[in-house]
């Protein structure tokens, strides 16, 4: 194992895909993976890998992954591992080059990308012994069959041959696609037209349903985290509570869901009946059972929970009291 590597990516699915491609090379040895800046830095300092696959434009901004990680490594290491950027955008390529990364690969990572990258890295390092050997279970009839570790010259020749084969195959597929695409498009259009005519003649008009614009649709909050989509009906939310850079959402069934957004973010997007009453709280006024202005607290229905309100948001509390009074209201 000549090149132990670490993958740092906020998307675990991307981590697995990159590892699957890298597993096809016997010289690349997987060490560990991380999904955020802090864990990635700790893994690098602990294991001293030779290669790092790094995402610098994460979907999850709380992971803090960026080119800043490379600058941080200079504080601790005399020799910086070879950094291979793997991301879905080209926008940061220039900045990455300024940080002297070894390669900038657009996702998804392909096998040919790694072949070219490893050749470039070996050339820059100036190694004499080169033996990148394909694992048997990843070989295809078009791939090179290597039974024994090869020399540097043999690997370079094999890699160049494979690149030529892949390029030629891509050209053939492109030509075939261009020659048949127009015919297929015309056939598909004809089939779609016939299907539409058939449906129009068979389906009675009474079965066509249209959404009623007079029925108000409930607000649904989608809390997304690492591919997990949690859908919450806003009517089930009692209140929001700030927790540093995240927010805890308290539901009417006693459950709590954490969202990796600040309370300020929710204040800007939530409509009526949500009101901010404190630096740490946004309340659904439909769940307020009591307001004690002397003690500056609100009580939540069917619970023992009391939420404080501050002078900064006293106007919002006064507005809630006024709206209660203007509704179907009887003061005793």
- Rounded CA gap, 332 and 330, in Å? 6
Examine the domain organization and report whether 128 and 271 are in the same domain. Answer: no
- The answer to whether residues 83 and 52 touch, using CB atoms and an 8 Å cutoff, is yes
Which residues have CB under 8 Å from 123's CB, separation 6+?
none
The answer to which of 144-158, 248-262, 275-289 has the lowest mean pLDDT is 144-158
Q: Tell me if 184 is assigned to some domain.
A: no
Q: How many CA atoms lie within 13 A of 107 on its CB side?
A: 20
Strands 28-34 and 82-87: unpaired
pTM of the model: 0.42
18 and 130, same domain (yes or no) = yes
Residues 160 and 233 in one domain: no
Regarding whether 154 and 10 lie in a shared domain, the answer is yes
Q: How far is CA 112 from CA 26, 118, 144, 165, 176, in A?
A: 15, 10, 12, 11, 22
For the record, the structure tokens of 321 come out as 């009291």
Q: Are residues 43 and 160 in the same domain?
A: yes
Signed CA dihedral, 177, 181, 187, 189: sign only: positive
Containing structural domain, residue 260: 220-326
Report if residue 213 sits inside a domain: no
Q: Is residue 201 part of a domain?
A: no
Mean pLDDT over 269-286 rounds to 94
Residues 10 and 155 in one domain: yes
Query: Do 160 and 224 share a structural domain?
Result: no
Which residue from 4, 12, 6, 127 is spatially nearest to 58, judged by alpha carbons?
Answer: 12
Half-sphere exposure of residue 254, counting CA atoms within 13 Å on the CB side? Answer: 3
Q: Are residues 159 and 231 in the same domain?
A: no
pLDDT at 132: 44
Decide if 92 is inside a domain: yes
The reply to whether 175 falls in a domain is no
Q: Domain check: are 156 and 259 in the same one? A: no
Q: Evaluate whether residue 200 is within a structural domain.
A: no
Domain termination site, one of 164, 199, 231: 164
Q: Kindly report the CATH number assigned to the domain that includes residue 39.
A: 3.40.50.2300
Q: Is residue 76 part of a domain?
A: yes
pLDDT on residue 218: 86
Instruction: Let me know if residue 279 belongs to a domain.
Output: yes
- Note the Cα 76 to chain centre separation in Å: 29
C-alpha closest to that of 257 among 287, 277, 233? 233
**Per-residue model confidence as pLDDT tens digits over 2-49:** 889 999 999 999 999 999 999 988 889 999 999 999 999 999 999 999
Count of the separate structural domains present in the chain: 2
Whether residue 169 has pLDDT greater than 70: no
Do 34 and 79 touch, CB atoms closer than 8 A?
Answer: no
């Amino acid at each position: 194992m000549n090149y132990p590597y670490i993958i740092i990516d906020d998307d675990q699915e991307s981590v697995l895909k990159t590892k699957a491609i890298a597993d096809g090379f016997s010289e690349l040895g997987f060490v560990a993976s991380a999904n955020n800046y802090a864990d990635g830095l700790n893994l690098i300092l602990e294991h001293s890998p030779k290669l790092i696959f790094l995402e610098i434009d994460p979907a999850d901004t709380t992971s803090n992954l960026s080119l800043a990680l490379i600058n941080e490594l200079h504080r601790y290491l005399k020799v910086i591992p070879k950094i291979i950027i793997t991301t879905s955008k080209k926008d940061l390529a220039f900045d990455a080059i300024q940080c002297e990364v070894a390669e900038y690969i657009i996702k998804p990572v392909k096998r040919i990308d790694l072949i070219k990258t490893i050749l470039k890295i070996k050339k820059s390092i100036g190694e004499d012994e080169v033996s990148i050997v394909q694992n048997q279970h990843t070989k295809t009839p078009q791939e090179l069959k290597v039974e024994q570790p090869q020399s540097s010259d043999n690997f370079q020749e094999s890699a160049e041959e494979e690149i030529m084969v892949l390029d030629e195959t891509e050209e053939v597929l492109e030509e075939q696609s261009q020659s048949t695409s127009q015919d297929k498009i015309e056939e598909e259009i004809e089939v779609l037209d016939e299907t539409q005519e058939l449906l129009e003649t068979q389906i009675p008009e009474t079965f066509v349903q249209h959404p009623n614009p007079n029925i108000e649709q409930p607000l649904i909050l989608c809390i997304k985290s690492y591919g997990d989509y949690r859908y919450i009906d806003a009517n089930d939310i009692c209140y929001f509570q700030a927790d540093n850079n995240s927010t805890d959402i308290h539901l009417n069934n006693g459950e709590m869901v954490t969202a990796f957004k600040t309370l300020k973010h929710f204040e800007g997007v939530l409509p009526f009946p949500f009101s901010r009453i404190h630096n740490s709280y946004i309340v659904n006024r439909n769940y307020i059972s009591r307001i004690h202005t002397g003690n500056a607290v609100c009580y939540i229905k069917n619970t023992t929970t009391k939420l404080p309100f501050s002078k900064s948001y006293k106007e919002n509390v006064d507005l809630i009291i006024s709206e209660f009074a203007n509704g179907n209201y009887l003061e005793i």
